Amino acid sequence: MATVSLAQARAHVLVKQGLAGKGLGSVLEAVDATGGIYGTAPTCYLSCAARIPSFRLADLDRELYSERSVVRLRAMRGMAYIEPLPLLPALLACTGEPRDKTLKRIARSAEMTEAQTLELADRIEAVLAGRPPMTVKEIREALGGDLPGNSGALQMTVALLGRYGRIVRAKARGSWRSDLYPYARWTDWLGAPVEEMDPAEARVEVARRYLRAYGPATADDLKWWTGWTKRDTLPALAALGEEATPVSLDGRDAWVLTDELDALTSITPQDGRGVRLLPVWDSYFMGYATTPAGRVRQVRAEDYPRVYDKSGNATSVVIRDGMAAGVWELDADAGTATVAPFGDDLPWDDVAAQVDALGHAIGTDLRMERAHVPGPLSDGPRNTFLSPISLRS
C-alpha cells in the first residue's frame, strides 16, 4: 500500500479543483472538479471565480439558464448543489432522504394527509405546465384559494416536487446575489424526465465522482459528504473494484482512483502553492468529515473554530497553499473585500491580486481592507459564519 502525506494529498486536490496552478478553464470543469458547487448565491459565483481565472458572472448564468447543462437541486445531505445533467439520475436516486420519508415528513409538517400532499403536488405541476417559470407567490396566485394544509404547505410541496425531479429552479429574480427562484416543470426546462436509476448503482457512480474530486479520502469522508450510512458507503467503495486503490494517508486508510495514483505519489507540496478567496460553504471546505481530524489537511486545530461553526458550516476563508490562513468578507455594494488574517505571514500582495481578480469577475471595482485577527465564530451571534468580520465588529 502506498503511503501519502497530508501535504501531497492537499496539493493533489488543490490542483484538481483549480485552486493551485493555472486553474480551470470553464464552469463545467469547475462543477466536475468539485463534485458539484454549492448552489446558493453568491457562493456559486464566488466558487467559480476562485477556480477559473477568466470567470465572469455571465459564464455561470449561461450554463444554468441558456445552455441548461447544469441545474440546481438538493442532493448531498439535502443541500443545494449545481450539478451536470448526466449525473442527475444518480443524485436523485441515492442522495437526500428517501422519497417516501420526504412525503411523510412534509405531509406531517404541512398538516396534510399524504394523499392531499400528492394531490397538491399534481396541481402545482399542472399550473406550471407550458408557462414561464413562477415563484411560490405566483404559483399560489395561479392556484387560487382553498389550498390544503397550513401556511407553509405550498412551499414545502414545491420542495417535494424538486426532490422528486418534477420541477427545477429557473433563473433567479434580482441580482447575482439573489436566491429568489421561480420554478419550471422539469420536462419543460430540460426536455425530458429524469431517468430512474438503481440506488446501489447510483451510489457507485457518486462514490467514483467524489474520489475524482476529493481523493485521496477516507470512507468516513465519503459517508459524511453524501449523507449515507456506513452500510451504504462501504459497498459503494468496494464496488469500484480495481478503479480505486487503497493508500495510507498520514496513517489512516484512504482511497484514491487508480488512474490518479501516479500523479498523487509524484506530486510535491510546492505544486499546491497559491492564495485563493473561498466563499461560505465552498466545496473545498465542505468535502471531508466534519471534525478537526477529518479536516486537518485544510485547517490547523487551533483555527478550526474560526473556520467552522458548531453546525459544521464553513465561513468565507482565505487559503494559502490550501490551508486556512484567514477569513474575508465581500461587500460588493461598498466595493470592499475585507480580510482578517490568522497570523502575520499572509502574503498581502497575493491577496490583493486575488481581490483585484474577483472584482473583474463580478464587474465591480474592489479595494482590499484589513481587519484584526478574528476569534472563534462562536464569539458572534447566530450565523456569524455568513459574515465572519462585520457581525463581530
pLDDT band at 145 (very low <50, low <70, confident <90, very high): confident
Determine the pLDDT at residue 157. Answer: 98
pLDDT, average across residues 272-300: 94
Contacts with 221 (C-beta within 8 Å, 6 or more apart), sequence order: 214, 254, 287, 288, 289, 294
Q: How does DSSP classify residue 195?
A: P
Task: Report whether pLDDT(47) > 90.
Answer: yes
The three three-digit cell numbers of residue 274, written as one number: 497559491
Share of the chain above pLDDT 70, in %: 100
Burial of 92 (0-12, 13-18, 19+ CB in 10 A): buried
The three three-digit cell numbers of residue 381, written as one number: 451571534
Task: Report whether pLDDT(123) > 80.
Answer: yes
Determine the pLDDT at residue 92. Answer: 96
Say which amino acid occupies 384. T
Determine the pLDDT at residue 373. Answer: 84
More confident residue, 53 or 1: 53
Task: Report whether pLDDT(190) > 90.
Answer: yes
pTM listed for this prediction: 0.96
pLDDT in tens, 313-369: 999 999 999 999 999 999 999 999 999 999 999 999 999 999 999 999 999 999 999
Say which amino acid occupies 14. L
Cis check for the bond before 376: say yes or no (omega within 30 of 0): no
Query: What whole-number distance in Å separates Cα of residue 165 and Cα of residue 200?
Result: 19
- 3-class secondary-structure state, position 191: coil
Determine the pLDDT at residue 146. Answer: 87
Determine the pLDDT at residue 364. Answer: 97
pLDDT band at 392 (very low <50, low <70, confident <90, very high): confident
Determine the pLDDT at residue 117. Answer: 98
Say which amino acid occupies 45. Y
Strand partners, 319: 276, 324
Task: Report whether pLDDT(66) > 70.
Answer: yes
Distances (CA, A) of 201 to 43, 89, 91, 236: 30, 10, 11, 8
Query: What whole-number distance in Å separates Cα of residue 94 and Cα of residue 99?
Result: 10
What do you get for the CA distance between the two ends of the chain, in Å? 50
Determine the pLDDT at residue 393. Answer: 64
Q: How far is CA 384 from the centre of its chain?
A: 19
Say which amino acid occupies 40. T
